[in-house]
Structure 1
């Protein structure tokens, strides 16, 4: 038979010999079909096509075989680089969720920025099938970030769990984020299973780490599990401890459906993919569900579990964690903390989550105003995946229309910017970061205008004048520093230089000390962590938590280029640091701004008073190079004309501040 019948979009077509054609598949990309002598080869040009075809061929998983008493929901928490993702790989491998070919590939770190930086940025969910004492169990694992800037991801993940694996490096011991994550789990009343990782290292000292855990967390050392996630040593004991020590979810299967949306992602072709934890009832394909936040009705199009890729299921039951696709096309429809329920059986919404408090604000503007609408769509979709980012519109005379974004820290801001560039091909300008200040108004007119005596300032350009303010307030944090006692003197000097007030100092063993300081947030948000790591040879760790506001003597400092204020570089500083900060910023701008054909004056000013100045010299051209001898008046005319030209250029010339200068100018070197 020399001809071939191929079914395309429900229509049988006849092909003979050698032919090539291209077609769209479900809107997901191009596939090229090559026919040669009755053989057909399919070459995917878009990875989404392969995923969609494989997903459609999978049979739905039956989750009814897992009663509530055989379900365990847990997450992995630890300090950064203590082996959370590596342990997650081993658990996935042992339970058959991934193959041995994916060994040590950090499978749950799916973002490009995570693989490039070697850190976990976004919490990822995976369901494991595990047989314990002959009974099948469903283990729902959530791998969480370890950096302080992503602690909101940890708090949201904990809400869907009944227990945690607390990972501690056998070489480094307890670190600052270990302490912070422990108290998050302790306050949520979760079962805590301590795991000591990296026992295969040459300098590993698990006995010392067990003593630290017992002293700091009051957990008996015989409850600690010693493992090597990289080699797989004793990882099977971790799975046994999860089943034996972590309780099953306390839910009622016969109650009405109540599903908590604890995370979400956006798919360009299927809309919003919501990660849910069922606290009651069940959900299946075709159900009509309603959102408690918007009171909008949706039809469930697909649901299932993550292993770690999407695996459709016939039905989700109470106590289980999975994903739901219900045709939500707008990013505003999937609110983190929302409750989903059946349309005909309304319920009381779940408490949800405390809103994240942004610690750092920065302006974000498109490189070209013609890209504004595309950047707006990209920011909306990315904030769906990262609900801790606060967004409000902003504008600038120099940069045009943009946004003022609030982040949990400087690393959070850098990762968000990198994800915009990598995932949405968006090029943006990010202004210098600042922290939110408060002002107590004294003017009755302003109090009436703002609806209260308290005014929050996230944009330094809108800093109110002292004449209408009774008091300025700055945010403060309680910082926890863990470091070898060898570096205690240097660290205390650094904290004192950043206006830190020591609150506590405890030795957790004979070599390591834990210090607690009260810091103004503005003093630590930009470069404190880098300096702490540098002066402690990388051994110190740092974590902080919000501690409210305190009164401070604050002033607004403007940066002038040739007498023109640059709104994006306006900062709020403490009065005692005005001169040193202004001088340092001028020096760094002098090194960051390229030289021009005219001289540039860089000044720091408070009101109309200039407190610091640096000069960027102009490029010089020898206009007398071709004047050999001759009348002196000719040379004088050339020099005068050159001086007038440079003066005119200085008056009408524009100075472009490089994109990277907005952050680099704030970093200072402490000696």
Structure 2
């Protein structure tokens, strides 16, 4: 195929604005899929994607379309819409020359619309603005065009209207992609240079590498070299997706497809690597991608300790298909052996947990999520900590820095006050307010990531009655008045319950945790002290009183000195038991604190 007749594009939009449905219609109109094989969200083939109705993994598909008598090859890369999968979007955009920016004709410009549009503009892609769901009775096309002009500087005359559900206007979208998106610039006769933008594992064929050929041609049976990994392989099979794998004899400049090279482990395939020739002078390395930064960490433990090896195997398999999360073994006094896992965000964490439970059939216990902190100790050493337990003792810490994010809230104007109060309670810094239209605004705040990942999305939805959306980008680390809050049971620190929090929230949060523990830990034969402390300073305390046996029950009358002797004996026994007795903290006490240590604190801050 002549590169002049190839168009590579992706569809970017906010969640639920109809990306996957538009992809379905384009596949149907170009007859890539027969009507008999057609189903809703055909590219979302992961079971969890179909259950939740969201796109999690980017997909590539090749279509053929005739416009003005000429045949064109259209390579569509379908992308997720959620903020946690932004890295999937950035990888897809690097392989395209254009992007269809899809906006719902009723909901209008949302937080992720803005983020994805800016990401596409930063890559210098040709933008094809499309308004979806124009057939709805409550669609407001004129206002939405005004919002697109106001926020994204898009000419309202260039905006196309379509209904991805019924197919109305989808032919015009294909024509606009052909006319407005530039053809790829590569030369099929040059040295092979291809970008690896994804890979999946097939249990029968090994690693399947998704590539976009920038220059040159790759043929079946050819020897190729992965420049970053430095490995050489034979191309056993290559082809394109339509949407299932279809073998082809070769892929040339501008085309998107897959390579199968009998690679047994996905660890040998690096996303962002460059594929070139194995003999002679290889092509220059491509820029590749920025490594996704894990921002949220939590512990995953099998509820039955026997499943540890099974969990390790399941995590290894999952990491093969999703290299953006990481895991390392850890142990906890409370929960036994498990893994500390790093994720891109809260939804990403939830998705990984559900995939583990669904695909590997393991019952999991998950600890409370926390973010990464940077700590400077008194002797000047810089350390990065992923768990509160790793934070040095209070006297050794010079400074703790936490990740700060810029959050964009898009919401109806009547809820601005409620969100401003929520952000003020979280000690957020106001940046600006932009009015998208007379009824909708975008509010921008700088907040600590720890406050965003726990419950900000839930609070936003409840305050705005479901109409608010948010998107965030990490700005960097900033010093805060942070402390490690320890929970002591009978004078001993319980690692699994330590948390890092703002000094001003420490009293409220410590009190909430020990109150919860008091309800869950059974009474012992001796008194048990529960304390919340910062360093050596105790800030909250509860006491579980001892069980008391009536040792004088058998004494009928008689001399009081006999009763006193029995009471003294009991007192001595309790004293001895208190010094040598162990407090048994049941697992459900840990889980109750980890899951719900969340009574509302003062000023609307959750006590987690």
Normalising to structure 1: TM-score of the pair?
Answer: 0.81
Alignment of 1:307-322 (within 5 A): 307-322=242-257
Question: Does structure 1 conserve the Cα–Cα contact (< 8 Å) formed by 2:229 and 2:270?
Answer: no
Tell me how far apart the structure 1 counterparts of residues 148 and 459 of structure 2 sit (CA, whole Å).
28
Q: Where in structure 2 are the equivalents of 1:127-276 lying within 5 Å? A: 127-276=62-211
CA distance in 1, matches of 2:99, 2:206: 31
Question: Within 5 A, what are the aligned runs for 1:455-474?
Answer: 455-474=383-402
C-alpha distance in 2 between matches for 1:551 and 1:153: 30
8 Å Cα contact 2:367/2:595 also seen in 1: no
- Deviation of 1:67 (Å): 1.2
Offset at residue 395 of structure 1 (A): 3.3
Helix, strand or coil for the counterpart of 2:54?
coil
| 2:352 alignment partner in structure 1 | 416
Is this contact kept in 2: 1:108–1:308, CA < 8 A? Answer: yes
Q: 1:475–1:548: 8 Å Cα contact kept in structure 2? A: yes
Aligned-residue offset at 1:653: 2.5
Structure 1 regions of 5+ residues with no counterpart? 1-65, 448-452
Per-residue CA shift, 1:530-553, capped at 9, x if unaligned? 001111001111111111111111
Is 1:530 aligned to residue 458 of structure 2?
yes
Map of 1:559 onto structure 2? 487
Cα separation, 2, equivalents of 1:511 and 1:584: 40
SS in structure 2 opposite 1:492? Answer: helix
Q: Deviations over 1:470-501 (max 9, x none)?
A: 32211111111111111111111001001111
Aligned equivalents of 1:595 and 1:226: distance in 2? Answer: 64
Q: Which residue of 1 aligns with 2:371?
A: 435
- TM-aligned CA distance change 1:139 to 1:614, over 3 Å: farther
User: CA, structure 1 residues 415+100, in 2 after alignment: closer, same or farther (shift >3 Å)?
Assistant: same
Q: Post-superposition shift, 1:356?
A: 1.1
Deviation (angstroms), 1:347: 2.4
- The alignment partner of 2:587 has SS state of coil
Equivalent position of 1:395 in the other structure = 331
Residue 563 (structure 1) shift:
4.9
- Judged with a 3 Å threshold, the aligned counterparts in structure 2 of structure 1 residues 235 and 615 are, in CA distance, closer, same or farther, namely farther
Distance 1:600 1:76 in 2: 60
Kindly provide the CA deviation profile for residues 486-539 of structure 1, in whole angstroms up to 9, marking residues without a partner as x. Answer: 111111100100111101111111111111111111111110110011110011
Following TM superposition, by how much is the alpha carbon of 1:585 offset from its aligned partner in structure 2, in angstroms?
3.4
Q: What do you get for the CA RMSD once the two structures are aligned?
A: 3.1
* Secondary structure class of the residue paired with 1:328: coil
**1:279-358 aligned within 5 A:** 279-345=214-280, 346-358=282-294
SS of equivalent to 1:526: helix
Q: For 2:504, which of 576, 585, 595 is the aligned residue?
A: 576
Give the structure 2 partner of residue 28 of structure 1. Answer: none
Distance 1:617 1:313, change over 3 A: farther
CA distance in 2, matches of 1:519, 1:425: 37
Q: Deviations over 1:39-72 (max 9, x none)?
A: xxxxxxxxxxxxxxxxxxxxxxxxxxx2111111
- Partner Cα separation in structure 2 for residue 194 and residue 507 of structure 1: 20
**Contact 1:481 / 1:541 at 8 angstroms: preserved in 2?**
yes
Aligned partners of 1:265 and 1:274 also within 8 Å: yes
**How many residue pairs get matched?**
592
In 1: Cα distance, 2:30 partner to 2:518 partner: 58
- Aligned in 2, Cα 1:198/1:549: closer, same or farther, shift over 3 Å? same
Q: 1:278 to 1:481 in 2, by over 3 A?
A: same
Give, in whole Å, the separation in 1 of the partners of 2:268 and 2:105.
44
Match of 2:299 among 363, 367, 370: 363
Q: 1:614 to 1:544 in 2, by over 3 A?
A: farther
| TM-score, length basis structure 2 | 0.89
**Distance (whole Å) between structure 1 residues aligned to residue 100 and residue 515 of structure 2:** 48
1:179-222 Cα distance to aligned partner (Å, 9 max, x none): 11111001000011111111122211011000111111111001
Range that drifts further, 76-85 or 111-120: 111-120
Note the 1:589-600 alignment, pairs <5 A.
Answer: 593=520
The 1:152/1:632 distance shift into structure 2, 3 A limit, reads farther
Whole-Å Cα distance in 2 between the matches of residues 101 and 666 of structure 1? 52
Is 2:82 the partner of 1:108? no
CA distance in 1, matches of 2:503, 2:89: 37
Question: Cα–Cα, structure 1 residues 344 and 484, in superposed 2: closer, same or farther, change >3 Å?
Answer: same
Task: Tell me the residue number matched to 1:40.
Answer: none
Residue 202 to residue 303, structure 1, CA distance change in 2 (3 Å): same
Which residue of the partner structure matches residue 6 of structure 1?
none
Is the Cα contact below 8 Å between 1:499 and 1:523 reproduced in 2?
Answer: no
Q: Point out where structure 2 has 5 or more consecutive residues left out of the alignment.
A: none
